[in-house]
Amino acid sequence: SQQGEEDPQALSIQEGENATMNCSYKTSINNLQWYRQNSGRGLVHLILIRSNEREKHSGRLRVTLDTSKKSSSLLITASRAADTASYFCATVRSYNTDKLIFGTGTRLQVFP
């Protein structure tokens, strides 16, 4: 079953603009992770944020986590055409710390 819901389902922006994707989840979590998927194949791990963290940065990526609202956001600054991909959030639940449950994904299109 899906744990997360990403919003929006699809996003189109111009190069240089910022892209913000949101993720909501249902149960308490141990950590939340973001992944990128190009061309419907393998996913690439971007960032992991733990339940006791509120914000994390990695290069042009900024992730926030609000456990009171059960939500997270992924911000990509100064986007590039190469950022075009699907982005998924995934959670490890507090009571089942073994496997990731993925959301439905946001399809990002960055136009040159």
Min separation Cβ 15 and other proteins, Å: 25
Min separation Cβ 91 and other proteins, Å: 9
**Of the candidates 82, 85, 100, 68, which has an alpha carbon nearest to the alpha carbon of residue 21?**
85
Please state the separation of Cα 41 from the chain's center in Å: 17
Residue count, binding to other proteins (CB under 8 A): 24
CA distance 108 to 81: 10
**Which of these segments, 17-25, 58-66, 74-82, 97-105, binds other proteins (CB under 8 A)?**
97-105
Residues 17-56, one symbol each (x = binds other proteins by CB under 8 A, - = not), give -------------xx-x-x----xxxxxx--x--------
72 sits near other proteins (criterion: CB under 8 A): no
Cβ-based neighbour number of residue 26 at 10 Å: 14
Q: Which amino acid is at 24?
A: S
Phi-psi region of 39 (alpha: psi -120 to 50; beta: other; left: phi over 0): left
Residues at the contact surface with other proteins, assessed by CB under 8 A? 2, 30-31, 33, 35, 40-45, 48, 88, 90, 92, 97-105
